[in-house]
Amino acid sequence: MQKNYGVKFLSFSGALPSKVVKNTDLEKLFDTSDEWIYTRTGIKQRHVIDKNESGLSLSVDAAKQALNKAKIDPKSIDLIIVCTATPDKLYPSMSCMLQGKIGAVNSACFDLSAACSGFIFGMTVASQFIYTGQYKNILLVGVDIHSRFVDWSERSVAVLFGDGAGAIVMSSCLAKDDELKGFILRSESDSKLDLTLDNDNIYFTDLQDQVKPDFVRMNGKAIYQFALRVVPEIAKELLDKTNMSMEQIDYLVLHQANQRIIDAVAEKLKVGKDKVLSNIEKVGNTSAASIPLAIVDALASNKIKTPSTMLLIGFGAGLTWGAAVIECNILK
C-alpha cells in the first residue's frame, strides 16, 4: 500500500450512561442469579440509558473528551465517522447530528455499520483518508445502545449487553511514524441468522397498528464457536503480515463479548492474563464501543504502560471480524 502520510492516535475517550443495572437487579426480572451470569459471561453489571440519555448524548460526551485530550478544535476535524448498529434515528445520521452538537462545521460525516466489529472497520476506513492526504484530522466514534432492543424477560441475551460510547482522534503524520502497523478485515454471510436484529417487521397494512421494534436474537453457541474459530486465526494472519510475533505485542484487546471467549482466545494465542485488557465485568458487551472503552479503562486505572503495541480484534454480527496492530503513545 502506498502511504503518503501516516496515522497518529491522539486520544482515546469513553462515555457510559449513569444508570447501572447489576446482576442482582436482573434476578427480579427472570430466573437467574449473580453467580449464574458471572460464571458464564464474566459480567457483574452493565450501564443503560435513561429517558434523558441517548446514543447521541453519549457520543457527544465521548467526542468532546477526545477532542480536549487531543487539543484539537472541532473546526479542525475534517471527517466524522460514527460506527453503530443501533442509531437513534435511521436518518439523519448519528455523525451529522454529532457534528452539529460539537461544532465540527468543516467535517464530512457518515455512519458505518459493522456491529461489534464496527470500531475496527471504522479505524481502517478512516486511515485510508489519512494515508492519501485527503483528510488530516478524523474523529471516530463507536457507540451502541442495545438496551432498546433487548427482551428484558429473556435471560440469554438480556444478561450480556450494555450501552456506551468510545471515541478517538486520528491525525496525519509522517509516513515513517505511522502508528497503525497493519490491519485485516473479514466478513462471512450469516445465512443462518445466528445473530440478528430485525427491522423488516413494519408493512403498509400495519400502519394503523402499534408496531414495536424487534429484539436481538442470538444463537449463543454458534457465535461462541465462530469467535473461537476466527479470532485466533486472524491474529496469527495479521502478525505474519506485519512480520511480528505475539511476544512483540504488549496488550491484546478483544471485543468485550464474553469473558469466556476472551480467556479462550488468550489461551489459544498463549497470551498471559497480564497482557489481556478486559473491562466486561463492569460494562458488559458494549458492541462498537467495547474496544475503546477497554483501553480507556486500562489507561485510567494504570493497568497499561505507554508507549505500547496493541493487537485489537473485533468480531460480531454480519458476520464480521477484523484486527489491527497499533502503537499507543497516549498517557491518559
d(CA 228, CA 224): 6
- What size, in residues, is the chain? 332
Q: How far is CA 237 from CA 117, 187, 257, 313, 324, in A?
A: 17, 15, 22, 12, 11
Chain-centroid distance of CA 228 in Å reads 18
Give yes or no: 116 in active site.
Answer: yes
Q: Which of 146, 255, 279, 328 is catalytic?
A: 255
3-state secondary structure the chain: CCCCCEEEEEEEEEECCCEEEEHHHHCCCCCCCHHHHHHHHCCCEEEECCCCCCHHHHHHHHHHHHHHHHCCCHHHCCEEEEECCCCCCCCCCHHHHHHHHHCCCCCEEEEECCHHHHHHHHHHHHHHHHHCCCCCEEEEEEEECHHHHCCCCCHHHHCCECCEEEEEEEEEECHHHCCEEEEEEEECCCCCCCEEECCCCCCHHHCCCCCCCCCEEECHHHHHHHHHHHHHHHHHHHHHHCCCCHHHCCEEEECCCCHHHHHHHHHHCCCCHHHEECCHHHHCECHHHHHHHHHHHHHHCCCCCCCEEEEEEEEECCCEEEEEEEEECCCC
d(CA 20, CA 27): 14
Q: Which of 116, 137, 258, 279 is catalytic?
A: 116
Task: Pick the closest to residue 26 from 154, 197, 214 (CA basis).
Answer: 154
Q: Which of 23, 258, 279, 285 is catalytic?
A: 285
Q: What residues act catalytically?
A: 116, 255, 285
